[in-house]
Amino acid sequence: MNRRDFINKVGVGAGIAASLGSSRISTVLGANEKLRIGVIGCGGMSNAHMDALLEMKDSDNCEIVAVCDIYQKRLDAAAAKTGGEPHKNYKDVLARKDVDYVLIATPEHWHHRMCLDALDAGKHVYVEKPMTHTIEQSKEVVKKVKETGLKLQVGVQGMSDESYEVARDYIKKDALGKVVQAQIDYSRNYVGDFWAYDIDLDAKPGVNLDWDAWLGPAPKRPWDPRRFFQWRRYWDYSGGVATDLFIHRVTRILKAADLKFPDYTVGSGGTYNFPNSVAEIPETFNIMADYPGGPTVVLIASMANDTPIRHVIRGHKATLEFTREGFEISPQRATSADVINPATGAAGGEIIKYKKKGAEDVTLHHRNLQQAIRSGEELRCDASLGYYGVVVTMMGVDSFRDRAYLKWNKDTESVERA
């Protein structure tokens, strides 16, 4: 697999304000100015970002000038790959006056603190999904973004596929009629166990790895290489399937159907195929979320079966189905005469097809952030959209863990038992 295929696969497929106040930069740079990037966290997904940014160096006038990781082996590899100056403490990256924006590609439990510190230091941010590990943390990040006026892009790179925005326009123009339900999945089929990534025996806490720094705001625990290399399987650092996979899918629905906060949410599932797994998170997981006046959004996933379901938004007049090429709108038979093609203004029962121009790609997502910094271009996945995604996915997680039906208090923007 070549570098581009790898990027597409993983892209489609860790009290600072006063001391760093002098490093603040303008929120908008000149169109021809070079953007200098600091990379925080140099693990698997980060390497896909670094590869993309290296390819963009000349075409997009950007450069990685600093890299940071608490594991020396990863740090050395990132410095050799990018030429960026290595740092063990992320605050040293934030203190650099030559850093315009930072890529935060750490486990989820560090996203909140690093985002706030970066914004306080005057840095724009690209933070991997989910934006934060909890709902309350997301509220704080949204508030900080508004206070600073800086740009923050959440790494749901599927939002650089414009077909979801186009679908939203069709829905707003009544191409589907009343939207009542949406469904989408993200399933895989692992053998032996799921997300059981290889453990690097070179990692030695106290020698070449700072375990306490990696834990950071998470509960203090003795060294466990599985928690370090397989962190997605533990609640301390991840929301599991919900925040690693569903966040990609549900954000598409949120954008297309123009949704914000659900009224009610329930999560269900379990570990049925891998009963001996040490993973705390469930292998099979589902969320149902009712939004005000509709629709109900259904999210389905299993790590033990990869048969997909149709990715659709259902309306009274028509159904919109997302495909690899874009989307199709198929009229409902009973109400086909009422379907309007917003592109032509014509009524009738014809199938409407849209072929996308963008893609689910980290290169496009970084380019969008860079254009937002340089010229104020609208972000594809800003802090508000990141917040809406964290709310529905973490309500699903909390519902599952508490075995409770949860509701959203729109006045306090908080979660309660229904």
Give the chain's largest Cα–Cα span: 71
Query: Exposed, middle or buried: residue 417 (CB in 10 Å: 0-12, 13-18, 19+)?
Result: exposed
pLDDT at position 190 over 70: yes
- Taking the chain, what is the end-to-end CA distance rounded to the nearest angstrom? 49
pLDDT in tens, 367-403: 999 999 999 999 999 999 999 999 999 999 999 999 9
Residue with tokens 């941010």: 125
Identity of the residue numbered 191: V
Helix (H), strand (E) at residue 289: strand 284-290
Instruction: Give the model's pLDDT for residue 334.
Output: 76
Break the chain into its structural domains and give their ranges.
3-159, 160-192+238-358+383-417
Q: Which residues contact 300 (CB under 8 A, 6 or more apart)?
A: 183, 184, 185, 187, 286, 309
pLDDT in tens, 101-158: 999 999 999 999 999 999 999 999 999 999 999 999 999 999 999 999 999 999 999 9
**Is the C-alpha dihedral spanning 65, 70, 75, 76 positive or negative?**
positive
Q: In sequence order, what DSSP letters do the residues of 373-418 get, joined into one string?
A: HHH-PPPSS-HHHHHHHHHHHHHHHHHHHHT--EEEETTTTEEEE-
CA gap 158, 13 in Å, rounded: 9
Instruction: Give the model's pLDDT for residue 28.
Output: 52
CA gap 195, 304 in Å, rounded: 11
Residue with the bigger pLDDT between 336 and 41: it is 41
Mean pLDDT confidence for 8-29: 38
Instruction: Tell which residue, 61, 135, 78, has the closest CA to residue 366.
Output: 61
Residue with tokens 């609208």: 378
Please give the CATH number for the structural domain made up of 160-192+238-358+383-417.
Answer: 3.30.360.10
Residue with tokens 């304000």: 17
CA angle, corner 358, sides to 355 and 361, nearest 5? Answer: 135
Residue with tokens 């453990």: 199
Please give the CATH number for the structural domain made up of 3-159.
Answer: 3.40.50.720
Mean pLDDT confidence for 58-65: 98
pLDDT at position 21 over 90: no
Question: What is the pLDDT of the chain when averaged over all its residues?
Answer: 92
pLDDT at position 10 over 60: no
For residues 105 and 46, the answer to whether their CB atoms sit within 8 Å is yes
Indicate whether this model's pTM tops 0.85. Answer: yes
